[in-house]
Amino acid sequence: MNMEDRRIFSRISVSFQLKFLDLNSGKAGEAETVDISANGVGFVTKEILSERTPLEMWLIIPDHHEPFYTQGEVVWSQALNGDDLQRVGVQLRKEDFIGVARALWIKNQNQ
């Protein structure tokens, strides 16, 4: 395991639509997830989000239920080369196994 990688929970590579609200600015944005875990979400967005930005997030998991709501804080953000996109890592305020279970169920259904 990479010593720089301090994750406790493994990540699941999934692509879902995500809507978020920057609680500092009140600005809403949209993104696409890259991966999720019980305590984090990685996504790509056109919005610029700096470290420590608090977010409310709604993952649109295509399982015919309400969007999965969670809150977190941006822990890192970097521009993607050649695109007007940012790759963002968010640490969730609390672990959420239900959201991850829903995402994993959908991923398994689509394989």
CATH number, position 85: 2.40.10.220
Higher pLDDT, 15 or 2: 15
> Is pLDDT above 50 for 1?
no
Mean pLDDT computed over every residue of the chain: 87
pLDDT digit string, tens, across residues 33-68: 999 888 899 999 999 999 999 999 999 988 888 998
Note down the domain range covering 95: 12-109
Whether 35 is in a domain gets the answer: yes
For tokens 């700096």, the residue is 50
Whether 58 is in a domain gets the answer: yes
Tokens of 8: 């406790």
What amino acid occupies position 87? Answer: R
Whether 62 is in a domain gets the answer: yes
Whether 6 is in a domain gets the answer: no
Whether 1 is in a domain gets the answer: no
99 closest CA partner among 66, 53, 55, 54? 66
Number of domains the chain contains: 1
